[in-house]
């Protein structure tokens, strides 16, 4: 029998205005790239950090992680 383990992760979405904070339950093994799907954001528009450090999409999340998604902008 297989048991699914849920992790509690906090997601901070920084769009340049007030910070939006969500608490989500994700399955064990969820990666940073999976968080974008959970919160409905387009990956190419954000960078992810955990504890102030940039993290690649394939990093597996741990219970209690705080993932900050910072919107990137370009233009002139």
- What is the reported pLDDT for 20? 97
Q: What is the set of domains in the chain, with CATH numbers?
A: 6-71 (3.10.20.30)
CA distance 32 to 9: 11
To the question of pTM greater than 0.85 for the whole model, the response is: yes
* Three-state secondary structure string covering the chain: CCCCCEEEEEEEEECCCCCEEEEEEEECCCEHHHHHHHHCCCHHHEEEEECCEECCCCCECCCCCEEEEEECCCCC
- What is the reported pLDDT for 51? 96
Determine contact, residues 32/69, Cβ cutoff 8 Å: no
The tens-digit pLDDT sequence of the chain (76 residues) is 556 779 999 999 999 999 999 999 999 999 999 999 999 999 999 999 999 999 999 999 999 999 999 999 876 6
- What is the reported pLDDT for 76? 61
């Amino acid at each position: 029998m297989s048991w699914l383990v849920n992790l509690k992760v906090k997601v901070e979405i920084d769009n340049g205005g007030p910070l939006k904070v969500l608490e989500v339950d994700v399955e064990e093994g969820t990666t940073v790239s999976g968080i974008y799907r959970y919160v409905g954001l387009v990956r190419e528009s954000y960078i992810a950090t955990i504890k102030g450090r940039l993290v690649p999409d394939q990093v597996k999340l741990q219970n209690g992680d705080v993932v900050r998604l910072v919107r990137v902008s370009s233009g002139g």
